[in-house]
């Protein structure tokens, strides 16, 4: 059988992991042995690299890879929006299937890319874009296809989970642990994407599109990262029996009419208090966990390493094998794509406005340590019909008290109104933090 030519765009954390698997096919699926690394694009040819293949296959000219007739599958693992997006489209137009780990591109341009792929009769597979080594994309596209999905939620950024876990367990310093996450290859080249929540928002946009069958407008997802998280909230959360995790949540709202398509999706990313006995509280380090809920499956949890060279390469190679398997069966490229492997939107989805999101909340207020303050705060919540699960006063220093409120599930619009009234109370100095709470 003729070998299947692979062109890599990028030889960083993920690219190196992919090259290692392809260069060492022993004891893996036999199809791995049918893959041949033909060329690899990098930015800097002078960089010292520990590689087990001839350096002559490295090039700085990515277009050469796209146009190389010996390459059937282009693997984009360079990251960033451009030139990655244009190279993906050029590869598709030159009749090559594409495997990419680039969630930033797919979350913003996935529909355009899927349309190009359909027109060209090639595949674009993205297993590595979400959850690192966890198989979640293909299960949503294929294995769970018979379900009406109602909710997808979980921890989908390895860097921030690694940072939060080490801060919690070791009391480690935020910037030191972020530096470690970068050295371990977990963080994005600009780690702001991890700590500000945008990487998780890209991933939940992709998962929502697959779970609910339609394209999600990425810009509609309210996103809060861990960069403004304060140690005091980690401490209070622990005292109340919670850990803090960066969660991404996507759930189907109530129907506004009988038509399924009109149900808005509530999608958001934010640091969230997780009860210590919730399975997500035990997901530590670089691990991710994704809970999918639907009918008739009930709940299914996907768990594993969410970032890093080996795990991500495992997902990339799974996609390569899916395509290689089909190509090895038919030498003739066919425009009849496997409808399960090539994801396709089948309805329109719209994302609910932030004020319509309904959830439990943690609020920390800094107020005068005086009689009646908690009563006044409680009254305002009551006036807005917001039910309080608990209200606790913590430290009081220099006549300033830290008051923590946990609400029952309420719409964010109502919470915003209540917090605005509370802030105008003369005894309330400021709102220290707001987060989600499970
Ligand atoms: P990385 O370590 O920064 O590697 C990027 C590679 O791409 C480098 O080899 C770089 O060349 C090359 N490159 C960048 N721009 C280029 C250009 N214009 N032309 C040619 N080569 C170029 O990145 P990574 O961590 O492997 O991530 C790659 C992609 O995978 C990103 O989309 C990321 O979001 C995604 N991803 C990463 C992980 C992870 O755990 N790291 C997990 C899942 C998904 P030089 O080597 O010469 O600099
Ligand atoms: N920076 C990402 C993370 C890589 O930490 O989750 C995996 O997508």
The pLDDT tens digits for 296-311 are 999 999 999 999 999 9
What pLDDT is stored for residue 334 in this prediction?
Answer: 55
Mean pLDDT of 407-415: 97
CATH of 4-132+309-342, one of 3.50.40.10, 3.20.20.150, 3.30.1370.60, 3.40.50.720: 3.40.50.720
The confidence band for 333, taking pLDDT boundaries of 50, 70 and 90, is low
Ligand 1 center to 130 CA (angstroms): 15
Residue 203 annotated among the catalytic residues of the structure: yes
Residue 398 has pLDDT above 90, yes or no: no
Is the separation of the CB atoms in 59 and 39 below 8 Å? yes
Question: With a 6 A CB cut-off, is 162 part of the ligand 1 pocket?
Answer: no
Q: Which long-range contacts (CB under 8 A, 24 or more apart) does 376-382 make?
A: 376/425, 376/427, 377/403, 377/405, 377/422, 377/425, 377/428, 380/418, 380/421, 380/422, 380/425, 381/405, 381/407, 381/418
Residue 70 CA, chain-centre distance (Å), reads: 34
Q: Average pLDDT in the 344-363 region?
A: 92
Pairing of strands 124-125, 97-100: parallel
Q: Mean pLDDT score of the chain, rounded to an integer?
A: 94
Is the minimum distance from the CB of 196 to ligand 2 under 6 angstroms?
no
Which residue's alpha carbon is nearest to atom 19 within ligand 1? 43
Distance CA 387, CA 411 (A): 11
Distance CA 74, CA 65 (A): 8
For the CA of 186, the closest atom of ligand 1 is 40
11 assigned binding-site residue: yes
- Paired tokens of 211: 């779970």
> What integer pLDDT is reported at residue 332 of this predicted model?
53
* pLDDT (tens digit per residue) in 240-285: 999 999 999 999 986 555 444 557 999 999 999 999 999 999 999 9
| Confidence class for position 1, pLDDT limits 50, 70, 90 | low
CATH of domain 137-305: 3.30.360.10
pLDDT reading at 330 higher than 70 = no
Q: Please work out whether the CB of residue 307 comes within 6 Å of at least one atom of ligand 2.
A: yes
Residues of each domain in the chain carrying CATH 3.30.70.260: 357-437
- The label of the residue with tokens 């392809």 reads 22
Ligand 1 contact, 7 CB (< 6 A): no
pLDDT of residue 337: 84
pLDDT of residue 336: 75
**Least reliable range by pLDDT among 40-54, 134-148, 284-298, 342-356:** 342-356
Could you give the angle at which helices 158-170 and 174-183 cross, rounded to 10 degrees? 140
Across the range 220-249, mean pLDDT stands at: 96
For 195-225, b/e burial (b = at least 16 CB within 10 A) is bbbbbbbbbbbbbbbbbbbbbbebeebbbbb
Q: Which atom of ligand 2 is nearest to the CA of 307?
A: 7
Whether the per-residue pLDDT at 435 is higher than 70: the answer is yes
**Ligand 1 atom nearest 308 alpha carbon:** 40
Which entry of 85, 96, 141, 203 is annotated as an active-site residue? 203
pLDDT of 378 higher than 90: yes
Structure tokens that stand for 67 in this block:
């146009």
- What angle, rounded to 10 degrees, do the helices at 309-329 and 13-23 form? 50
Of 177-191, 254-268, 278-292, 385-399, least confident by mean pLDDT is 254-268
Which superfamily does CATH assign the domain made up of 357-437 to? ACT domain (3.30.70.260)
35, pLDDT greater than 80? yes
Residue 23 clears pLDDT 70, i.e. is over it: yes
- For 56-92, how does the pLDDT look when each residue is reduced to its tens digit (9 = 90+)? 999 999 999 999 999 999 999 999 999 999 999 999 9
Report the percent of the chain where pLDDT is more than 90.
87
pTM for this one?
0.96
Q: What mean pLDDT is predicted for residues 149-173? A: 95
Per the CB < 8 A criterion, the answer to whether 160 and 287 are in contact is no
- Which ligand approaches the C-alpha of residue 163 most closely? 2
């Amino acid at each position: 059988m003729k070998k299947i030519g692979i062109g890599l765009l990028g030889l960083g954390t993920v690219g190196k992991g992919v090259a290692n698997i392809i260069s060492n096919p022993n004891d893996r699926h036999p199809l791995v042995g049918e893959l041949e690394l033909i060329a690899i694009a990098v930015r800097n040819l002078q960089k010292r690299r520990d590689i087990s293949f001839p350096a002559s296959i490295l090039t700085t000219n990515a277009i050469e890879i796209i146009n190389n007739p010996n390459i059937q599958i282009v693997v984009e693992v360079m990251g960033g929006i451009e030139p990655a997006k244009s190279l993906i489209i050029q590869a598709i137009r030159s009749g090559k299937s594409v495997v990419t780990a680039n969630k930033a591109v797919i979350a913003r341009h996935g529909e355009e890319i899927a349309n190009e792929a359909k027109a060209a009769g090639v595949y674009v597979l993205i297993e590595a874009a979400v959850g690192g080594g966890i198989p979640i994309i293909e299960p949503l596209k294929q294995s769970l296809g018979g379900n009406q999905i109602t909710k997808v939620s979980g921890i989908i950024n390895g860097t921030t989970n690694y940072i939060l876990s080490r801060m919690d367990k070791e009391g480690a310093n935020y910037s030191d642990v972020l530096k470690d996450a970068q050295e371990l290859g977990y963080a994005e080249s600009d780690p702001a994407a991890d700590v500000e929540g945008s990487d998780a928002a890209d991933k939940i946009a992709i998962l929502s599109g697959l779970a609910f069958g339609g394209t999600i407008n990425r810009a509609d997802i309210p996103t809060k990262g861990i960069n403004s998280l304060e140690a005091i909230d980690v401490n209070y959360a622990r005292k109340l029996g919670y850990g803090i995790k960066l969660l991404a949540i996507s759930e189907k709202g109530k129907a506004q009419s009988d038509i399924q398509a009109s149900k808005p999706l509530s999608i958001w990313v934010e640091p969230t208090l997780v009860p210590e006995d919730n399975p997500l509280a035990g997901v530590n380090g670089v691990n991710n966990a994704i809970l999918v809920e639907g009918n008739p499956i009930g709940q299914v949890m996907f768990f594993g390493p969410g970032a890093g060279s080996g795990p991500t390469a495992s997902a990339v190679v799974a996609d390569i094998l899916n395509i290689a398997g089909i190509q090895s069966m038919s030498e003739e490229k066919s425009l009849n794509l496997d409808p399960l492997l090539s994801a396709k939107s089948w309805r329109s989805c719209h994302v609910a406005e932030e004020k319509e999101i309904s959830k439990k909340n943690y609020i920390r207020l800094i107020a005068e340590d005086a009689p009646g303050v908690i009563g006044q705060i409680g009254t305002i919540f009551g006036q807005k019909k917001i039910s309080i699960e608990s209200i606790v006063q913590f430290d009081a220093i220099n006549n300033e008290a830290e008051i923590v409120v946990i609400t029952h599930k309420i719409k964010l619009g109502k919470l915003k109104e209540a917090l605005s009234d509370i802030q105008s109370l003369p005894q309330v100095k400021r709102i220290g933090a707001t987060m989600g709470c499970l």
